[in-house]
Structures are given as C-alpha cells and as structure tokens.
Amino acid sequence: MRKSSWIRTGSAVVLVAASALTRFSVYPALHQVPDDTRTTFRFEGSATLLNPPALETGDLSEAFLADLPVILDRSVEVRDTSGRTAVVADGVVLRGRDGTRLNSSEDVWAVDRRDLTERPAPAGSGAGKHEGLVISWPLEPERRDYRFWDTGTRKAVPARYDRTETVSGREAYVYVVKADGALADPATTKALPPALPRQVVAGLAAALPADRRPDAAVLAALPETVPLTYTSTTERRAWVDADTGLSLDGALHQTVLARTAGENGPVTLFPVTDVSVRGAEASVEKQADEAAGTARLLWLLSTGAPLGLLVLGLVLALLALRGARRRAGEGERRPGAEPSAEPRTPQRR
C-alpha cells in the first residue's frame, strides 16, 4: 500500500473517531448547566403590600401600598459544580419602579445539571432540601407534566403541560404550576408577627376595599390578642423553549394572606403581599436570542459536526480503498506478467 493510501486510511480513522468523540463525549459534556452560569430575568407588574412606615406610626389608613407598579428581578447563579451536581443561588428582588427595594429573598439549591431535578446537597453548600424542578426546566423538555418545588409552601406540586405556543419566533411549551397551603418559607414567616392586637387587625381590615374586608361581626368576636397564621397561594405560567429548555417568558401571581381561627373555621383577615407580574419584553427577547444561539450550537455538536466528520471519514476510506484496488489491478497487468494476446506460429526448419 502506498504512502498516500496509508495517509487517507489513517485520516479516515481519525475523522470517524472524532465524529464519535464529538457526539458521545463533547456534546454531553457541554449539554449541561455551565459552571459559570449567571442570569437575570426581569418581570413587571403590580403589587399590594403592607406599608411598614404606616404600621410603625400607627396610621393604619395608609397601611397598604395598593396596586403599586413593581419590577421583580430573579437571578440564578451557579456557585459550585461537582460532576452532575450544580449548587445554585436563586435570588429574587422586588422593587418599585423608582428603584426602591420592597422585598428580597435568596435560596440555595443542589440540582442536576441536565434535568434540573434535585441532587444530594454537597457538604457545606448550604443547599436547601427540595423535590423536583425548582429553578428552571430540563434541557430537553417534553410535552408532559413535571413535579415543581413551590418555595412558599415548601412542597412539590404538579407542573402541568398546557399547550404549545410561539414566543419571539421560538416554539415554546407552556406549563402551569398552582400551589396553596400554609406559608412555610422560613425567611418570610420569621419576619411576620405571630399575633396582633384586635384593634390593629380591625384597623388593617378597615383600610381594605369594602369587598375584601372581613365581616364586622367576625372581627368583633376575635380575642384581644389575635393569633395569626399565614397562607401562600401561587400560580406560575412558564413558556419554555422546546429545543433548549430555557425559560422564554413567565407569569407569576403570588399571595400571602393573614388568617386566624374563627367560630366557623379559618377567617381571612388581610393580605401581606399580593404580587402579579409578567416577563418584561426586553428579557423575553434576550432569552429568545439566547435560545436560538444555544440551539444552533447544540445542533452543531450533536448532529452537524459528527455527521460531517463521519461523511468525510467515509469518503477518505472509499478513496483509499479505490486507490488500493486500482494499484492492484495495474500490478496484474505489468509486461511479462500477462500471456501474449496472439498465438505464436511454429517456425520451419
């Protein structure tokens, strides 16, 4: 075999091996949550909140900031990775449109870097316990229901696949998450009073719109010191890119209510927070652009590059085989190796 055939054959082997390496090693290594992930998604909407300055001064006529225009920024940052596990900080900051910080929270989770479900928390990470999805959706989402961790009630609830829509030119799966129950978020419950004087509760109720006030007779029957419990109700809608699992858009309505026990069952007294927001247009467009770029890269690594390398390797292998066969045929037809085509005539003596 000539040197050129050896080169072609060797190159073909290298290309086929590179094709397999790209598809089955490079692609899986890159198709996971990167260790330098840091993203922020902005929501816009309105909120009704208790007004701390009014509560401190006792001016309960201004006890609520009603229908306040707000901005909610949710940031996700990977703090550490170990194999398939990523330790992620999940932060939420609620601000008024003037930039005034109204509320904030942060949780730390340990998640799988591919399907985003729970993973054992590494020692010393401070990651909280959870079940199912919590920060985002699998990198390869499906048209099916998932389990989602509700941070308000600290329990897993269904995330139901609802429909498929188009968001900024991208195909998106729409999931709906609903959760309600006793407020279990430790940071929030720690900041709320376990009881209030009846006079304060009545003043807060009086500051509400008439159709949202508790019955006056119920208020009058409350004890001098009213024990309080809190409930959390959350409804989320997520528009998730069908190719990459990136969240393209989202909507959130979350309410925390103060309640107490009445003669005929629990009595809702007043809202602590009532936030309703939807993804800001700029954030939606940014996510769609990122999803498009990520989808192209994933296609290149999973299909384009491996297929191209495989085809080129096979072409070189065929050329090497064809060259070897041609040279073998030429060797059989060399002068002296073939019988004469014309019969010899015997010579007379």
- Mark whether 130 and 259 lie in a shared domain: yes
Per-residue pLDDT, 230: 96
- Mark whether 108 and 39 lie in a shared domain: yes
Q: Which residues constitute the domain of residue 319?
A: 1-30+292-326
- Mark whether 35 and 125 lie in a shared domain: yes
Q: What is the pLDDT of residues 81-132, one digit of tens each?
A: 998 999 999 999 999 999 999 999 999 999 999 999 999 999 999 999 999 9
- Mark whether 6 and 141 lie in a shared domain: no
- Residue tagged 């959760």 (tokens): 179
- Mark whether 85 and 191 lie in a shared domain: yes
- Mark whether 302 and 268 lie in a shared domain: no
Q: What is the pLDDT of residues 215-266, one digit of tens each?
A: 888 898 999 999 999 999 999 999 999 999 999 999 999 999 999 998 888 9
Rounded percentage of the chain residues whose pLDDT exceeds 70: 76
Q: Residue 158's closest CA among 129, 180, 138, 140?
A: 180
Count the helices and strands in the chain (H runs, E runs): 8, 12
- Mark whether 149 and 15 lie in a shared domain: no
- Mark whether 259 and 310 lie in a shared domain: no
Per-residue pLDDT, 335: 57
- Mark whether 128 and 218 lie in a shared domain: yes
Give every residue of the chain whose pLDDT is below 50, as ranges: 1, 6, 12, 15, 18-27, 305, 340-341, 348-349
- Mark whether 23 and 85 lie in a shared domain: no
| Residue spans of alpha helices (H) in the chain | 3-21, 27-30, 52-57, 186-191, 198-206, 216-220, 281-299, 305-332
Residue 267 lies in a domain: yes
- Residue tagged 């979350």 (tokens): 254
How many domains does the structure of the chain reveal? 2
- Mark whether 273 and 310 lie in a shared domain: no
Per-residue pLDDT, 346: 54
Q: Distance between CA 152 and CA 339 in Å, rounded? A: 94
Residue 337 lies in a domain: no
State the Cα angle at 137 between 132 and 141, rounded to 5°. Answer: 110
Residue 332 lies in a domain: no
- Mark whether 265 and 296 lie in a shared domain: no
